[in-house]
Amino acid sequence: MKILNAVLAVIAFLALTVFQKVGEVLAGDGLREVIVSHTDEKDILQLYRMKEDGTGSHQLTHSKSGCRMPSCSPDRKKLVYVEQIGHGLALRVSDLNGENAQTLVKEGMNLMPSWMPDSEHLVWMKVKPKPKQDPARNAQIHLANVKTGQTRRFFTDEEQLKFSNAMPVVSPKGGRIAFVSNRSGNMRIWVSDLNGSNAKLISRPEAEYHKKIKAPIEQKVPTWSPNGKWIAHWEGVEMIHMSKFTGVLNPQRDRMISSTFHVWVVGSDGKNRRKFGRGDDPTWSPDGYVTRAFPDPKRGGPKIMVDTESGEKELPIVPHKKNWGRFTWLP
């Protein structure tokens, strides 16, 4: 009898546990999570984890200089981001909750980190900045092993190093890499094997040059769809031609430049190119929908939109009157 009572107690406990777990699932709101870089009360960029509707925000970093460009590892265990340290921009890696942060790469200007599918390696662009020059025009892609801390230049094909290669993102299955390069003249989206060979220009703009603005049409920020079939990217006249970079006040020209900012989607094979909508900084949600951002004077900051089955909706993940430094979806 004692044995029977013990077994029944175990069964009752398991049943209660299962009921509680089911209850938790049923009570869930189904909202996905993001990690966002936006300014705090001191106007310093920090990282925050929250739901896609902006609720449940929890601050992950308390930097004195600013954290931006977060990227979550595919296994949801690690976070990489860019933090200003001294006169450089360092790569920092932490647990997903922001704890146990360590500097992976300190020297130089390091931007746009992105994880490889194994969650043990990441790629990024290392820039040699020049005055009044787009950083992507003087950059090379690098690779880091997060566990060992070892780093090296990513491309081994010397022919590829004759050009600037920037903003790397490795395909979901790990066989190819999309990046930005000036090997055809202006900055364009290219896809190649991991060593840089078999590089192919996959997205050709309708025009190479904007005649009214008198500036080239550029492409930036490639990002793979979760199934690896599509690449979204930004296209337009680069911001370095705007007043705050040129030092010559010209609001009308600035508005014209902003109006060229659009997100495009193209097949990873270079086919079926289409304009998705105005904006910048495209990403893909875990279920395969494009997000994009653009300035919103009413918000006093960026407005971020995501495509859905029923149309677009806003992601209110950056508070009003706050600047931002990009965001990442949790896989």
pLDDT of the chain, 331 residues: tens digit per residue: 443 344 334 333 333 333 333 333 333 578 999 999 999 999 999 999 999 999 999 999 999 999 999 999 999 999 999 999 988 999 999 999 999 999 999 999 999 999 999 999 999 999 987 776 788 888 999 999 999 999 999 998 787 888 999 999 999 999 999 999 999 999 999 999 998 889 999 999 999 999 999 999 999 999 999 999 999 999 999 999 999 888 999 999 999 999 999 999 999 999 999 999 999 999 999 999 999 999 888 888 999 999 998 899 999 999 999 999 999 999 9
CA distance 49 to 65: 19
3-state SS string for 93-141: EEECCCCCCEEEECCCEEEEEEECCCCCEEEEEEECCCCCCCHHHHEEE
Q: Which residue has the tokens 């007043």?
A: 243
Q: Residue 270 burial by CB count (10 A; 0-12/13-18/19+): exposed, middle or buried? A: middle
Residue 279: helix, strand or coil by DSSP? coil
Say if CB 14 and CB 6 are below 8 A apart.
Answer: no
pLDDT at res. 58: 97
Helix residue ranges, H only, the chain: 2-27, 243-246, 251-259
Spatial CA neighbour of 279 closest among 298, 299, 254, 304: 304
Indicate the average pLDDT of the chain.
90
Going by the DSSP 8-state scheme, the letter that residue 174 receives in this structure is S
pTM over 0.85: yes
pLDDT at res. 28: 56
- Residue 222 corresponds to which tokens in the numbers above? 């490639």
